[in-house]
Amino acid sequence: MRQYIFILFFVFLSHPITFAQDTDFTAAASATITAEAVQKLSKAITFQTTSDVDEQEFRYSEFLDLHDYLGEAFPALHQQLQKEVVNGYSLLYTWLGTDPDLPPVLLSAHMDVVPVEEETKEDWQQQPYAGTVKDGYIWGRGSLDDKYRVIAIMEAVEQLLQQGYSPERTIYLAFGHDEEIGGTEGAGKISEYLQEQGVKLEAVFDEGLAVAKGVLPGIDEPIAFIGTAAKGGMNLQLKVKGEGGHSSAPPLDTPVSILSAALNRLQNKPFEARMIPTTKETMELMAGKLGGKYKFAMRHYGLFKGKILKMLAKDQATGALIRTQMTPTVLEAGDTYNVMPRMAKAILNIRILNGEDQETVIKHVTETVNDERVQIEMKGTYTPPSPITPTDTWTYAALEQSIRETFPEVALVVPALFPGSTDARHYTNLTNNIYRFGPQVVTREKAQLVHNVDERLEVEVFEKSIAFYKTLLRQTCGNLPLQVVMQQEESELLPDVTNK
């Protein structure tokens, strides 16, 4: 089916977009527009929209102030799109298309940010909520995650409206207010609301992976990764009870020793390593760039499976792609130097690979611990691994094309497993086509800035993200898609010769 994507690729190339282009503007006017957009992101950062599991810490009023500001900053959008406030603090905008028969697309982003820890405030080079623009960067909490996408999407729509663009396909803009704490009250409620109305979506575009530069050893060219699958997650508590008493005469086994032994067994018996179809696709596409050895190995995957998995397991980043992983995060036992604790507890944070679930995870942990004195219990919510998004669709091709147009330096566009989870998880009932991709350029260093001190985004990358969403909207909702849909229907009649 890969061939089919190339067919579409040529369709895009042979049908240039004919409506108003940015070239209609003078360079000076376009520079002014860019400067204004940067100011909008800068201002959006000044609202301290932190979400928090603790209701007291949730800064609800900041969200309402941000809503007001967005109304001022994007007048055309607010005049022509329908705005609904969902569950008090999330936003859903509807841009009606001219053809009601086309299933809508939904662009998802979130307005909430993680808090700035009190003890790190001094470490910031620029104040985290000042929205400072300096040295080519927009600084502050939310500049990378995820306010730049909220503003880039809205700016793209604003500019398209000003250029007289009218979509054929309906577009939803869905901005949640609690992604950082699970998204149940924001994206979760938006999704419920759309399902109640019987909406079926063509595709969802959310945050996730990005254009990666120098992230993989041996590859210098930037590669765009699109998250077409996401891992699930859950937390298990391991608890051991004991008798307590004075630590001068301990029994052979104490809660701490029993718990340590259990954690040790888990460390030594990880989940089975395996390649899900998405990762196999990633590897196949990247094999050429990785060099002859890998190319050969991937071509004869059956033969070299063990070796390939072993190699992927070695690196932290690729290791996450091939198995369910568990990490002890919280440990709790005694609090007095000479008193044996009556209880020892550990939390295992588990990221579940597609194909496994709650039951298979608990089974592996229970069998590996193999000690009845250790009580195993689930804590918090369970997020199942996502369904796998197909890549042989016109929406995937449109996304790939939008990436290539915006980031011409990209050598490859590759589907990949996203090891985390985002608001996208709430939309799985509405479409099979869920894409997790943020239009930004990430290096190993820059990836560290998310949720961290000195979070900042290059002005240049922000500009590109606006251009990206304009292209993506036109590719998926403009005049062009009709031709693509026609091509798709025709090509479905063609035999699949690629044996995939």
**Would you tell me which residues interact with Zn ion (CB under 5 A)?**
145-146
Q: Residue 271 CB, nearest distance to Zn ion (Å)?
A: 26
CB contact at 8 A, 187 and 109:
no
Q: In the structure encoding, which two tokens stand for residue 450, read together?
A: 């998310």
Rounded Cα–Cα distance for residues 80 and 95 (Å): 7
Q: CA nearest 203: which of 108, 106, 110?
A: 106
Largest CA distance in the chain: 84
**Cβ closest to Zn ion, residue 170 vs residue 386:** 386
User: Least distance to Zn ion from the beta carbon of 214, Å?
Assistant: 23
Q: Which of 146, 178, 179, 185 is catalytic?
A: 179
284 is annotated as an active-site residue: no
Identify which of residues 312 and 424 has a Cβ nearer to Zn ion in the complex.
424
Pairing of strands 133-134, 137-139: antiparallel
Q: How far is the CB of 149 from Zn ion (least distance, A)?
A: 8
Percentage helix, strand, coil, to 5, in the chain?
45, 20, 35
Q: Which is nearer to Zn ion, 124 or 148 (CB)?
A: 148
Residue 438 contacts residue 210 (beta carbons within 8 Å): yes
Residue number with CB closer to Zn ion (189 or 474): 189
In the complex, the smallest distance separating the C-beta of residue 199 from Zn ion, rounded to whole angstroms, is 24
How many residues would you count in the chain? 500
Spatial neighbors of 176 by CB under 8 A, at least 6 apart, are 90, 108, 109, 110, 111, 112, 183, 186, 187, 190, 423
Task: Please state the closest distance from residue 206 (CB atom) to Zn ion, in A.
Answer: 9
| Comparison of 190 and 322: residue with beta carbon closer to Zn ion | 190
Of 62, 112, 146, 206, the active-site residue reads 112
DSSP codes, 219-252: --S-EEEEEEEE-EEEEEEEEEE----BTTS--S
State yes or no: is 112 an active-site residue. Answer: yes
**Strands lying side by side in the sheet with 232-241:** 325-332, 343-352, 232-241, 374-383
In the complex, what is the shortest distance from the CB of residue 281 to Zn ion, in angstroms, rounded to a whole number? 25
Q: Which residue has the tokens 């990247």?
A: 286
Our CB check for Zn ion shows the closer of 207 and 356 to be 207
Of 156, 229, 265, 138, the residue nearest 433 (C-alpha): 229
Q: Which residues are catalytic?
A: 112, 179
